[in-house]
Structure 1
Amino acid sequence: MSTGLPNTWPRLLADIGGTNARFALETAPGVLEDIQVLPCASHPTLEAAMRSYLAEVGSRAVAHAAIGIANPVTGDWVQMTNHHWAFSIEATRQALGLTSLIVINDFTALALSLPHLPRKELVQVGGGDAISGSPLALIGPGTGLGVSALIPSPGGYMPLAGEGGHVSFAPFDEREAAIWRYARDRHGHVSAERLLSGPGLVLIYHALAALAGEAEQDLSAADITARGLSGDCPRCRETLDAFCAMLGTAAANLALTLGARGGVYLGGGIVPRLIDYFKTSPFRPRFEDKGRFSAYLAGIPVFVINSRYPALIGASAALAAHLEH
């Protein structure tokens, strides 16, 4: 994680999602303080949110910052996919008087955190032991669907910065094909994120209600989750089951693509809230339902990340590596 290079403390760390921005000051290697969560909608720009946070904590001068953001980072200009913020990395660095500002995809940051997460903050759902030196896969539904991985290399694990959440959704059976058709008729291309996300949970519910000839209720993802877990709404429970099964397919596809015998990690804001139900949900049976490769997948452990601010830990690791080199 972070090194003890002189004159670099505190460091500003941020994890920017489509809904909330999480900030912290790293005051010593691995020591995070003044963690705050700010609603993105409450600030017109990222710079304004950063200034608000720094003013609130009354920090002494910060020279170095790292941001993980729910968006592709392909150059200096960043335009968020699930929020209206757009900014130049260099212009933001200059405006805030920073010596260095690095911006990486939020799931790249989350991937970088995986080797540093305590075992007690991981909940294993099936599988055997992780194979040391093998790739680690990462997928997580929240406001969107994040995908990344850690790939072993001679110099240590290297994170992947991709946009795997936007691959085309692959239906597993006739029910999922019907849900896909419902989504396609309304949105055109149906990505994995279209269904495996908070808004996707609502879309699955509407599709299932329509397929059953029922009137659609105006329910939020939180409403559907609460009613599904309590058993008050059979359609909401069916929605959760379908969601977890679809996630099992997506996670297994990723595991096979990467050869992720080091484990599959589930991040994002949705699954940790379902953990007791999730352990016995359709996720694991679907994860292993891959015909000739079912035995291969049966041995791969899946870990739900049950850590409050793991992407901040990954941002710390990324900033440390930047300052070292």
Structure 2
Amino acid sequence: MAIDAIEPLLVADIGGTNAKFGIASTHPGSGEVNIYESRSFPCADYPSLEAAIHAYREQVLGEWPRLACIAVAGPVLGDQVRFTNLDWQVDFKNLKNTFDFSELFLINDFVTQAYATLYLPSEHLRCLRPGTPVPETPRLVLGPGTGLGVATLTPFGKSWMPQPGEGGHANFSPVNALQREILRVLTTDNNYISVENLVSGSGLERLYTAIGQVRGEEVAPLKAAEITSSALEKNNPVAAEAVNVFLSVLGSAAGNAALTLGAFGGVYLTGGILPKIDALIDSSDLVSTFEDKGPMQSLLADNPVYLVTGPTPALAGAAHLLIDRLGLNTHSYC
């Protein structure tokens, strides 16, 4: 549906590591959303979300937007929001007043990731497992970064209802002997091991160290980026195994979530890590662990799995969500 040009929108994706901002506008007539003035700021450099927004505002030319959608990495259950993997807190009313927003949506970051899947062009999706989505059932969106985000998108009339979740904090359940050994090693320091404890940036580092112990090899600590680089270059067997276990646990968690939520409308994997290791996914156990659900495997038989490869999907999702919520645009799934 074509829409008229609207005033610029502030969109933001605030994760545990980086705060990403952009200004969104729509093309007159076509309604196509464009993101410009994109900037990324390390969260560790700022004491608060407000400080990061001020830093962005100083770099933006032109009129400051009065409509905003800010996605944050944590549960949003009221006016007071605490980040899960970052020592920041947000007060909705204070944030709105400080920056003179006439409309502010403060939402979970994976709500915007989920909403973006409605508008992603085909070239920003790679099919990992073909299938046919079941009409009128939810889509599942999840992805690792600083943490493991999870959300669903459910058809509701002629629109879609995004629903955030905290599935990354469900407990890790091993599916083979190696994973049981990894769990044994990890529980010596922590009695509760979540999926996010393995499927995230720090989780990959944790897996690498644990597999070294299981294999009886002394491994020097590596950052997540170093582990993925070593796995891609095929010069470190422990790194390669850590990445495969990482993808295996992600696939299993995705299958569990799809069954739990009845999300047979497609699974979309996103986040900052997966596109960087795209070359390793097809040879991994991700798809096989997604499918391996015993007597309920048939329910996943036609559920397609996609990798989101496009840039800043959360910013685009935030823009579309804000436009739709304000009644400036409509989107039908029919």
Q: In structure 2, what is the equivalent of residue 175 of structure 1?
A: 178
What are the residue-to-residue correspondences of 1:1-325 with 2, within 5 Å?
4=4, 9-28=7-26, 29=31, 30-324=33-327
Secondary structure of 1:324 counterpart: coil
Q: Is the 8 A contact 2:258 2:264 kept in 1?
A: yes
1:281–1:88 CA distance, 2 compared to 1 (3 A):
same
1:232-254 CA distances to partner (integer Å, 9 max, x unpaired)?
01111111111111111101111
Q: Percent identity?
A: 38
Deviation at 1:63, TM superposition (A): 0.9
Aligned mates of 2:129, 2:64 — CA distance in 1: 47
Secondary structure of 2:193 counterpart: coil
- Stretch of structure 1 that moved more, 291-300 or 225-234: 291-300
Aligned mates of 1:298, 1:287 — CA distance in 2: 10
Unaligned runs of 5+ in 2: 329-334
Deviation at 1:188, TM superposition (A): 2.3
Please, what TM-score do these two structures have when normalized by structure 2?
0.92
Deviation at 1:155, TM superposition (A): 4.3
- Stretch of structure 1 that moved more, 314-323 or 230-239: 314-323
Aligned mates of 2:124, 2:135 — CA distance in 1: 19
Aligned-partner residue type, residue 138 of structure 1: V
User: Counting helix residues as a fraction of each chain, which structure ranks higher?
Assistant: 1
Q: Is the 8 A contact 1:127 1:298 kept in 2?
A: no
Deviation at 1:9, TM superposition (A): 1.3
Aligned mates of 1:88, 1:262 — CA distance in 2: 35
Q: Is the 8 A contact 1:16 1:67 kept in 2?
A: yes
Q: In structure 1, what is the equivalent of residue 332 of structure 2?
A: none
Q: Is the 8 A contact 2:209 2:221 kept in 1?
A: no
Q: Is the 8 A contact 1:2 1:317 kept in 2?
A: no
1:72–1:4 CA distance, 2 compared to 1 (3 A):
farther
Name the Cα RMSD after superposition.
Answer: 1.8
Secondary structure of 2:10 counterpart: strand
Aligned mates of 2:282, 2:301 — CA distance in 1: 15
Aligned mates of 1:69, 1:150 — CA distance in 2: 18
- Stretch of structure 1 that moved more, 105-114 or 59-68: 59-68
1:213–1:280 CA distance, 2 compared to 1 (3 A):
closer
Deviation at 1:17, TM superposition (A): 0.6
Aligned-partner residue type, residue 20 of structure 1: N
Count the aligned residue pairs: 323
Aligned mates of 1:207, 1:240 — CA distance in 2: 12
Aligned mates of 2:183, 2:3 — CA distance in 1: 48
Aligned-partner residue type, residue 219 of structure 2: E
Unaligned runs of 5+ in 1: none
Deviation at 1:158, TM superposition (A): 0.8
Please, what TM-score do these two structures have when normalized by structure 1?
0.94
Secondary structure of 1:161 counterpart: strand
